[in-house]
Amino acid sequence: MRLGLFGGTFDPIHLGHLILAESCREAMALDLVWFVVAGQPPHKQREGRTPVSDRLEMVRIAIAGNPAFEVSEIEARSPGPHYTYRTLEEVARSRPGDELFFLIGGDSLADLPTWREPGRVMSLATVVAVGRPGTAEPPANATREILDAHPDARPIARVDAPLVEVSSRDLRRRVAEGRSIRYLVPRGVEAYIEAHRLYRPAP
């Protein structure tokens, strides 16, 4: 099986996430895409993060009806911080017959050389990057050094996709300000945020 892993806090998940995942699924002929909801990402130590149970449920709502999309709790239910290479090692051990792909946006691609064990990441999975306007790519020499130092590392695959200028941070701010997020998130996610009063200032 060709399995794609798409990690993030998804706080909240939005249409940009879904477009990225579907574009990579189609371009790379993936059989399945896991949305790996992070519990405690090492690069995001923000206080007051939405509880993981809410973020998992919003992802479930967002991907309902797409049989190629699944939610993974591999990181959400275990102590953090989590590192991509460790998650990939665990998946590779549990699914030895699968070919792994790790899906990222262009903003994350630029930071790839600074990740913990980037060569291990690129050896365990094909990194699939979707570009975003105005984002930088990692220096060519940095990527070449990773490939030279790790003979099993795979070149980065790049995928074109419709680009939607939306971010979870902006969505949280919009909700806090009482502004609309309609058409930026699936309607079910919008309803969940409303019903549970997420991202609103404390009374």
Calculate the dihedral angle through the C-alpha atoms of 25, 92, 121, 32, rounding to the nearest 10 degrees.
10
Does residue 22 lie within any of the structural domains? yes
Q: Residue 142: what pLDDT?
A: 63
pLDDT at 35 over 60: yes
**At how many degrees (to 10) do helices 52-63 and 15-27 cross?**
60
Residue 71 is assigned to a structural domain of this protein? yes
Reported pTM? 0.90
Query: What is the pLDDT at residue 46?
Result: 53
pLDDT tens, residue by residue, 174-193? 999 999 999 999 999 999 99
Give one word for 104, left, alpha or beta, with left for phi > 0 and alpha for psi -120 to 50: beta
Query: 124 lies in a domain?
Result: yes
* Residue 134 forms part of a structural domain: yes
Residue 2 has a pLDDT of 98
H or E element in which residue 124 lies? helix 118-124
Average pLDDT, stretch 62-68? 97
> For residue 86, is it within any domain?
yes
Residue at 157 is within a domain: no
202 is a domain residue: no
Q: What's the pLDDT score for residue 136?
A: 53
CATH number at residue 75: 3.40.50.620
Q: Which range has the worst mean pLDDT, 139-143, 153-157, 160-164, 181-185?
A: 139-143
Q: Residue 64 belongs to what domain range? A: 1-29+41-50+58-145
Domain count, the chain: 1
Looking at the chain, the whole-number percentage of residues with pLDDT higher than 70 is 90
